[in-house]
Structure 1
Amino acid sequence: MKKLIYIFNILLLIGCTTESADQVKENEIIKANRVVVLEFDTTEPNFDEIRISYFDYKTNTYPIVIHEFEYDSSGEAIPFILKFEKYNFRYINGVGYRNNPSTAELSVKLYVDDVLVLEDADRGRNGEYAEISFDYDAGF
């Protein structure tokens, strides 16, 4: 009888496996092929510049990207896009800020595989600079 219960427990444990090896491999491929897009925008009508710092897992550093917005013929800012192909890290985090106290809105949208997962916006006020942040946990 003990042997029968022992065999039954082993079969029960084997049957409770949540993912097959093929499923695990497929999930790893999907994670390795993710596309992460950060879209920065401003409502400043004339000239605006943003400083962006994000954690780069490949170099283990926080590089700083300084971008001067370009404008279309109607005076609207053209969004600045940072795109990361084959992003296979769990976290996406960093900050962007305007180096002056303009009250125009500064915003960021974070897309993972074309899905908007995070959005933030801020305005400068009372001498404070607009600051936007992105901190996303892919949770795998």
Structure 2
Amino acid sequence: MRYFEDVTVGQRASFGKYVVTREEVVAFAERYDPQPFHLSDEAAAGTHFGRLSASGWHTCAMTMAMIVENLKRHDEAGLGSPGIDELRWLRPVYPGDTLRCETEILDKRQSKSRPEMGLYRSRMTVFNQNDVAVMSFISQAMIRTREAG
């Protein structure tokens, strides 16, 4: 189990592999972000995307899937997140792309009001198969302290 005490400022990790499919891009767009450039190549051709592209919110969802899989693999004593800051969609994500994540711990602190809990901030960068950054954000995470466990 990974607790607050095990989190080190400056610590880096690389994880995940998510293959983006055309079917998933369209299905997500139809349900949550039905803008034309997320629904068809023809509509996207006349935009700066040039072809069908994933919604930025879909990119967030795919990233979350990789994060949760990584947390399960490392058995983190996570308690959720109060939010993210500085979300940026840097480049389009297209069907056929393969996404991966890199993260760095920026800082951490133990909660004064809830000593059984710590918080840390990390910078998440999502890359495609060409090592081009497509999205970044700063996440805040809550995690149990070892004493609470």
Larger helix share, 1 or 2 = 2
Same fold (TM over 0.5): no
Highest RCO, 1 vs 2 (Cα 8 Å, sep ≥ 6): 2
TM-score (norm 2): 0.27
Q: Which has the larger radius of gyration?
A: 1
Larger strand share, 1 or 2 = 1
TM-score (norm 1): 0.28
